[in-house]
Amino acid sequence: MKSKKIINQNMSKVTRSVILGLSIIVIAVVLALLIAKFNILSVFVPSPKYAAVYLTTGEVYYGRMSMFGGFKLSNVVTLQKDKDGNISVQKLNDAIWKPKNPVSFQKDHIVFWSYLDSTSPLIDVIENKTQAAANQPTTDTTVTPAPSKK
């Protein structure tokens, strides 16, 4: 009779351990789903900043940078200069191949990147462009360079 009690006690310890382990796994999966669904980490992770990314190909892209899950830019634009010296902003999502946000970059193709200053006029152009893109048939925005200070 005593050996049955010991076996039952050992079985109940094993059962409790299995239940505890399964409970922890279920809680972790539920938390992971909630984080993914409601972007809960954005409360703890600083919001992405605007950045310029210079690639080994010589191309420069601008957008909201995120390094969570790899190096990414969203609301990506490039600058184009015409023969008259006018600079226009080209939204990458309007390219013929229609890339979706965010655009991921391979780190070994990045020469350098830099945050844009929060007062950069390019940020205003990108944000206005993002808001106005649905209402305007064209996404070209001509930017007049600021006069140089001497």
**Range 50-143 classified under CATH 2.30.30.100:** yes
Q: What is the pLDDT of residues 7-16, one digit of tens each?
A: 566 667 778 8
Q: Residue 129: what are its φ and ψ, rounded to 5°?
A: -65, -45
CB-facing half-sphere around the CA of 119: CA atoms within 13 A: 0
Q: What is the pLDDT of residues 38-92, one digit of tens each?
A: 666 655 655 558 999 999 999 999 998 887 777 888 888 998 888 998 888 888 8
Tokens of 143: 């930017």
Sequence letter at residue 83: K
Q: How far apart are CA 86 and CA 44, in angstroms?
A: 41
Closest CA to 127 of 68, 50, 73, 60: 50
Q: How far apart are CA 12 and CA 4, in angstroms?
A: 12
Query: 117 vs 50, 75, 114, CA distance in Å?
Result: 8, 17, 9
Q: How far apart are CA 53 and CA 65, in angstroms?
A: 9
The whole-number pLDDT of residue 121 equals 86
Spans of all domains in the chain: 2-43, 50-143
Four-residue CA torsion sign, 14, 16, 21, 25: positive
On the 0-12 / 13-18 / 19+ scale of CB atoms within 10 A, 150 is exposed
Q: How far apart are CA 135 and CA 150, in angstroms?
A: 39
The whole-number pLDDT of residue 137 equals 37
